[in-house]
Structure 1
Amino acid sequence: MLVLSWLWLLIVLWFEAGVFYASVRKCSWPVRAHYLSPGNVLIVADPQILDRHSYPERSPWVRLLSQIMTDLNMRKSWRAVYQRFRPDYVVFLGDMMDNGRLDMSHEEYERYYARFLSVFPAPKGKVYYVAGNHDVGLGSSGSFSENAVERYVSHFGPLNRIVQITTKYRLVIVDAPSLVDEDEERMKHGVPINDWPSIGGPVEFIKELSKAPGVHNILLTHIPLYRPSGTDCGPVRERGTIRVGKGSGYQNTLSSEVSKFLIERIRPALVFSGDDHDYCELQHQEGFKEVTVKSFSIAMGIRKPGFQLLSVPEDDVGNTGAADQLCLLPDQIGIYLGWYLPLVALTLGVIIMDLLLMRKARNGSDRRADDGGTVLPLHKVKIAKQFVDWWVLRGLRRRKRVGQGFVGEFVRYFVDVAGIPTGAFILISVVFMVGL
Structure 2
Amino acid sequence: QVFSPFSRHFLTKSSQFLSRTLESPLPPRDPCRGLTGPEGGALDLDCNGAAPPSRGPWCSKPPRRGTMQSATRLTLLLCAAWVAALLYGEMGAYWAAHLSCSWPSASSSSPSPSNHVKVAVIADPQLMDRTSLSLPPGSVALQAAEFFTDLNMRRSFQSVVLPFKPDVVLFLGDYFDGGTYLSDEEWQDSLFRFKHIFSMSEQRTNPHVPIYYLSGNHDIGYSAFHSVHPEVISRYEKEFGPRNFQFLSGKVDFVVVDAQTLDGGATQSKERSSSWEFIKTLSAGNESNPKILLTHIPLYRPDNTPCGPHRSSPAINQRIYSAAMDQGIKYQNYLSKQTSDLLLGLLKPILVLSGHDHDQCTVVHSTPFGPVMEVTKVLSYLVAACTTRCI
Q: Is the 8 A contact 1:224 1:274 kept in 2?
A: yes
Contiguous gaps of at least 5 residues in structure 2: 1-74, 201-206, 322-328
Task: Write the deviation string for residues 29-75 of structure 1: whole angstroms up to 9, x where unpaired.
Answer: 11315252461100001011111122327996554443233212111
Structure-2-length-normalised TM-score = 0.69
- When residues 57 and 141 of structure 1 are mapped into structure 2, their CA distance, relative to the original with a 3 A threshold, is farther
The answer to whether the aligner puts 1:12 opposite 2:90 as a matched pair is no
- When residues 242 and 165 of structure 1 are mapped into structure 2, their CA distance, relative to the original with a 3 A threshold, is same
Which of 155, 159, 163 is 1:80 aligned to? 159
- When residues 159 and 214 of structure 1 are mapped into structure 2, their CA distance, relative to the original with a 3 A threshold, is same
Task: Write the deviation string for residues 307-326 of structure 1: whole angstroms up to 9, x where unpaired.
Answer: 6xxxxxxxxxxxxxxxxx52
The answer to whether the aligner puts 1:26 opposite 2:109 as a matched pair is no
Alignment partner, residue 175 of structure 2: 96
Q: What secondary structure sits across from 2:131 in the alignment?
A: coil
Letter in 1 for 2:120: L
The answer to whether the aligner puts 1:306 opposite 2:372 as a matched pair is no
Q: Describe how 1:329-340 pairs up with structure 2 within 5 A.
A: none
The alignment yields a C-alpha RMSD, in angstroms, of: 2.8
Alignment partner, residue 211 of structure 2: 127
Alignment partner, residue 175 of structure 1: 258
Alpha-carbon separation, structure 2, partners of 1:176 and 1:20:
33
Task: Write the deviation string for residues 230-270 of structure 1: whole angstroms up to 9, x where unpaired.
Answer: 11111211111131112474310101111111001100100
Alignment partner, residue 232 of structure 1: 306
Q: Describe how 1:61-76 pairs up with structure 2 within 5 A.
A: 62-76=141-155
CA drift of 1:153 comes to 0.9
Contiguous gaps of at least 5 residues in structure 1: 190-195, 308-324, 327-436
Alpha-carbon separation, structure 1, partners of 2:196 and 2:230:
26
CA drift of 1:197 comes to 9.4
CA drift of 1:82 comes to 2.9
Alignment partner, residue 261 of structure 1: 342
Alpha-carbon separation, structure 2, partners of 1:143 and 1:204:
18
Q: Is the 8 A contact 2:279 2:346 kept in 1?
A: yes
Alpha-carbon separation, structure 2, partners of 1:84 and 1:236:
23
Structure number with higher helix proportion: 1
Q: What secondary structure sits across from 1:205 in the alignment?
A: helix
Alignment partner, residue 374 of structure 1: none
Letter in 1 for 2:334: T
Q: Is the 8 A contact 1:101 1:145 kept in 2?
A: no
Q: Is the 8 A contact 1:161 1:174 kept in 2?
A: yes
State the identity as a percent: 36
CA drift of 1:166 comes to 1.4
Worse-matched range after superposition: 96-105 or 58-67: 58-67
- When residues 284 and 17 of structure 1 are mapped into structure 2, their CA distance, relative to the original with a 3 A threshold, is same
Q: Is the 8 A contact 2:297 2:354 kept in 1?
A: yes
Larger Rg: 2
Worse-matched range after superposition: 27-36 or 108-117: 27-36
Alignment partner, residue 201 of structure 1: 274
Letter in 1 for 2:318: V
Alpha-carbon separation, structure 2, partners of 1:249 and 1:64:
30
Q: Is the 8 A contact 2:257 2:295 kept in 1?
A: yes
Alignment partner, residue 136 of structure 1: 220
Higher RCO (C-alpha under 8 Å, 6+ residues apart) = 1
The 4+ residue runs of structure 1 with deviation greater than 6 A are 196-199
Structure-1-length-normalised TM-score = 0.62
Matched length: 295
Alignment partner, residue 285 of structure 2: 211
Alignment partner, residue 365 of structure 2: 284
